[in-house]
Chain A
Amino acid sequence: MYKDNFLIIWVVVVGLTVVMFEADAQSKAADFTLRFKNTANGNSLVLLDSTYKNTFGESYQVTKLKYYISNIHLTGKQSNYKSKEVFLLNAAGSDSATFQLKPGIYTELRFMLGVDSILNCSGAQDGALDPLNGMFWTWNSGYVYFKMEGYSTSSTADLQRIEHHIGGYRGINKADRQIELTLKEPIVIKDGDTKAIFIQVDLDKYWQGKSDIKIAENALIMFPGELAKKSADNFSGMFSIISIK
Chain B
Amino acid sequence: MLKLKVIISFLLFAAVSLFIIAAGKKDRDDIYKTTPLEFKIPKGWPKPTVDFFKKNKLTEEGFLLGKKIFYDSRLSKDGEVSCAGCHQPFGAFATFDHDLSHGVSNSFTTRNAPALMNLAWMIDFHWDGGVNHLEIQPLGPLTAPNEMGITLDSALMILKADSAYYRMFNNAFGNPAITSQRMLKALAQFTGSLITSNSKYDRVMNGLDTFSNFEKKGYVHFKNNCASCHKEPLFTDNSFRNNGMLLNRFKDIGRQRITALSSDSLKFKVPSLRNIQLTFPYMHDGSIFSVPQVIDHYIAKTNAPQIGLDSVLRKPIVLNKLQKNELIYFLYTLTDTVFTKNKRFAPDGPVYFKH
Where the two chains meet, the residues of A that have a C-beta atom closer than 8 Å to any C-beta of B are: 2, 5-6, 9-10, 13-14, 17, 20-21, 24, 120-126, 130-132, 136, 138-142, 170, 173, 223-226
In the complex the two chains form, is B133's CB within 8 Å of A121's CB?
Answer: yes
In the complex the two chains form, is B136's CB within 8 Å of A123's CB?
Answer: yes
CB distance from A123 to the nearest CB of B (A): 4
Chain B residues in 8 Å Cβ range of A125: 181
Q: How many angstroms between the C-alpha atoms of A211 and B60 in the bound complex?
A: 53
In the complex the two chains form, is A132's CB within 8 Å of B152's CB?
Answer: yes
In the complex the two chains form, is B134's CB within 8 Å of A24's CB?
Answer: no
Among A13, A122, A139, contact of B131 (Cβ-Cβ < 8 Å): A139
Q: Tell me if B132 counts as interface (CB < 8 A to partner A).
A: yes
Task: Encode B136-161 as 1/0 by CB contact (under 8 A) with A.
Answer: 10011001100000001100100000
In the complex the two chains form, is A17's CB within 8 Å of B9's CB?
Answer: yes
Among A20, A122, A130, contact of B180 (Cβ-Cβ < 8 Å): A130
Smallest CB gap from B156: residue in A: A132
In the complex the two chains form, is A10's CB within 8 Å of B188's CB?
Answer: no
CB distance from A13 to the nearest CB of B (A): 5
Smallest CB gap from B261: residue in A: A172
Among A10, A123, A126, A130, contact of B56 (Cβ-Cβ < 8 Å): A123
Q: Tell me if B208 counts as interface (CB < 8 A to partner A).
A: no
- Please provide the chain B residues from 1 to 28 with a CB less than 8 Å away from any CB of chain A in the complex: 5, 9, 12-13, 16-17, 20-21, 24
Among B13, B20, B132, B184, contact of A142 (Cβ-Cβ < 8 Å): B132
CB distance from A17 to the nearest CB of B (A): 5
In the complex the two chains form, is B136's CB within 8 Å of A141's CB?
Answer: yes
In the complex the two chains form, is B135's CB within 8 Å of A24's CB?
Answer: no
In the complex the two chains form, is A132's CB within 8 Å of B153's CB?
Answer: yes
In the complex the two chains form, is A123's CB within 8 Å of B24's CB?
Answer: no
- Please provide the chain B residues from 175 to 221 with a CB less than 8 Å away from any CB of chain A in the complex: 179-181, 184-185, 188
Smallest CB gap from A121: residue in B: B132
Chain B residues in 8 Å Cβ range of A17: 9, 12-13
Q: Tell me if B52 counts as interface (CB < 8 A to partner A).
A: yes
Smallest CB gap from B144: residue in A: A138
In the complex the two chains form, is B180's CB within 8 Å of A132's CB?
Answer: yes
CB distance from B141 to the nearest CB of A (A): 9
In the complex the two chains form, is B20's CB within 8 Å of A6's CB?
Answer: yes
Among A9, A138, A170, contact of B140 (Cβ-Cβ < 8 Å): A138
In the complex the two chains form, is B152's CB within 8 Å of A123's CB?
Answer: no
Q: How many angstroms between the C-alpha atoms of A185 and B133 in the bound complex?
A: 45
Q: Tell me if B231 counts as interface (CB < 8 A to partner A).
A: no
8 nearest CB pairs, A to B: A123-B135, A124-B184, A141-B132, A124-B135, A126-B181, A121-B132, A138-B139, A138-B140
Q: How many angstroms between the C-alpha atoms of A3 and B130 in the bound complex?
A: 53
Smallest CB gap from A125: residue in B: B181
Q: How many angstroms between the C-alpha atoms of A142 and B133 in the bound complex?
A: 10
Given that A130-B180, A139-B140 are known contacts, is A123 also in contact with B55, CB under 8 Å in the complex? Answer: yes
Among A2, A120, A131, contact of B139 (Cβ-Cβ < 8 Å): A131
Given that A6-B20, A123-B56, A123-B136 are known contacts, is A24 also in contact with B5, CB under 8 Å in the complex? Answer: yes
Given that A6-B24, A13-B17, A141-B130 are known contacts, is A173 also in contact with B185, CB under 8 Å in the complex? Answer: no
Smallest CB gap from A123: residue in B: B135
Residue in A24, A132, A136, A224 with the greatest tally of chain B CB atoms within 10 Å? A132
17 contacts between A and B (CB under 8 A): A2-B24, A10-B20, A20-B9, A121-B132, A122-B133, A123-B55, A123-B136, A124-B133, A124-B180, A130-B179, A130-B180, A132-B180, A138-B144, A140-B130, A140-B257, A141-B130, A141-B136
Q: Tell me if B260 counts as interface (CB < 8 A to partner A).
A: yes
Q: How many angstroms between the C-alpha atoms of A223 and B21 in the bound complex?
A: 56
Q: How many angstroms between the C-alpha atoms of A9 and B20 in the bound complex?
A: 8
Chain A residues in 8 Å Cβ range of B260: 173, 223-226
Residue in B5, B136, B153 with the greatest tally of chain A CB atoms within 10 Å? B136
In the complex the two chains form, is B181's CB within 8 Å of A10's CB?
Answer: no
Among B5, B21, B131, B156, contact of A141 (Cβ-Cβ < 8 Å): B131
Q: How many angstroms between the C-alpha atoms of A24 and B5 in the bound complex?
A: 10
CB distance from B59 to the nearest CB of A (A): 16
CB distance from B129 to the nearest CB of A (A): 10
Q: Tell me if B258 counts as interface (CB < 8 A to partner A).
A: yes
Q: How many angstroms between the C-alpha atoms of A126 and B178 in the bound complex?
A: 12
In the complex the two chains form, is A141's CB within 8 Å of B133's CB?
Answer: yes
CB distance from A58 to the nearest CB of B (A): 26
CB distance from A15 to the nearest CB of B (A): 12
In the complex the two chains form, is A139's CB within 8 Å of B130's CB?
Answer: yes
Chain B residues in 8 Å Cβ range of A5: 24
Given contacts A5-B24, A123-B136, A124-B188, 10 further A-B contacts (CB under 8 A): A14-B13, A17-B13, A20-B9, A121-B132, A123-B56, A126-B180, A131-B136, A138-B139, A170-B259, A173-B260
CB distance from A161 to the nearest CB of B (A): 17
